[in-house]
Amino acid sequence: MQAQDDGTIRVEDHGDGVWRIEELYARPYCRGAIWVVDGGDRRLVLDAGWGLVPLREHVPALFDRPIVAVASHTHFDHVGGLHQFADRLVHPLEAAILADPTPDAVQSWPFLRDYDALAFDPVPGGFDAEGWRLPPMPARAVGEGGRIELGGRSLTVLHTPGHSPGHLCLFEEATGFLFAADAIYEGELFDDVPGASVPDLLATHARLAELPATRVFPSHFGVFDRPRLVELIAAYRRGKRA
């Protein structure tokens, strides 16, 4: 792959075989990053965004090797495009949602009614928020301690509930890279949506703070280092105590 920006999809090279794909039509707070990690044998795709435009048309090089796609959780801005990948993984607590991804289950509605989530409409003929339905996307189950082998690099699955019951993070011990999804990022955390739990999120944060992370790749906003990870966790905890 290579870095690119066609005004609809942007691909960023973060070095060390890590790429970020962003759907520019979604506003940043609701633009779930699609993280790509290259291994020697296959490629990891963590989350799949909204999926309103096909990645195969905008980033064909993404599909030039075998892909394993992992859903960090099943909110619509993370799994809308998951159907583009044949080999899918999800935590067992949220597998039923992917099998039958109704608007309520993936929380696309009433979210799309109540928030100005799109920066522009990328759909020919116009995006129909009320009529938007995701296809069934059955996936293999993966949970705490699972290993994702890519050939020459390996990531460990962490069950990190709080934002959702089956939320997953991925950690690569060899590099210290933490793919944190919606567990922590710069900005307001959505901890009051259906299925969220503040006590679980606080426990998840305590766990993440102990990891020897070197870089944190979240689903929203910018990448940061371990000191910033600890700062963000401490700030969230102070806010909840207040």
* CATH number for position 108: 3.60.15.10
> What is the mean predicted confidence (pLDDT) over 66-91?
98
Residue 67 · residue 56 · CB < 8 Å: no
Do β-strands 177-181 and 215-218 pair in parallel, antiparallel, or remain unpaired?
parallel
Domain that holds residue 149: 4-241
Strands of the sheet with 147-149, listed across from one edge = 147-149, 154-159, 168-172, 177-181, 215-218, 224-225
Q: Report CA torsion sign: 122, 125, 126, 128.
A: negative
How many folded domains does the chain comprise?
1
pLDDT tens track for 135-182: 999 999 999 999 999 999 999 999 999 999 999 999 999 999 999 999
Q: How confident is the model at residue 220 (pLDDT cuts 50, 70, 90)?
A: very high
* 8-state DSSP, 118: B
Share of the chain above pLDDT 90, in %: 93
